[in-house]
Structure 1
Amino acid sequence: MARGIGIPRCVQCGTRSNPCRCKVVGPTLGFLAFAAAAIVEWPVGALVYCFKHVKGRRIMAHPAAVVYPRVTNAIPI
């Protein structure tokens, strides 16, 4: 049987936010939100970095520092 490529699954174990202490949905959706935000924000951040270094770095770090943690922590499973 041929196996198809599914959506990426991220697993975060050792959390106390649910009884099984493992999260799958939150980290997976967090990764997808991170990727979508990064596609937009990294080129913009690179352009801004040419003129304002600190602002450009802050824009490029936004998907990893804000988007991924907020989405991952918002979904407890």
Structure 2
Amino acid sequence: MGGFPGCVQCGTRSNPCRCKFVGPTLGFIAFAVTAAVEWPAGAVVYLFKHSKGRRIMSHPYAVVYPKVSNSIPI
């Protein structure tokens, strides 16, 4: 069977190993949880205000994932 799915980012300079595992994995989990809430809400808002709906739907990718991923250096 499968194992725990994880995200690996290599080539980073934020730690001596030059690879990150914990940050990107937690960033993806935070992205998925946030997207499950914000994408349906953004779709409803999009019906009335297109630009506001787009901002809501892009928030998990543009803000949540990078902040969580970059805050953990390993």
Could you say which structure has the larger radius of gyration? 1
TM-score (norm 1): 0.93
| Residue matched to 2:65 | 68
**Aligned equivalents of 2:29 and 2:61: distance in 1?**
12
Identical amino acids, percent of aligned pairs: 76
Structure 1 gaps of 5+ residues are: none
1:37-52 equivalences under 5 Å are: 37-52=34-49
Q: In structure 2, list runs of 5 or more residues that go unmatched.
A: none
Residues 18-33 of structure 1: pairs in structure 2 closer than 5 A: 18-33=15-30
Q: In angstroms, what is the RMSD of aligned CA positions?
A: 0.8
Runs of 4 or more above 2 Å deviation: none
Give me the whole-angstrom Cα distance separating, in 1, the residues matched to 2:3 and 2:40.
28
Q: CA deviation at 1:21?
A: 0.2
More helix by share: 2
2:31 matches 1:34: yes
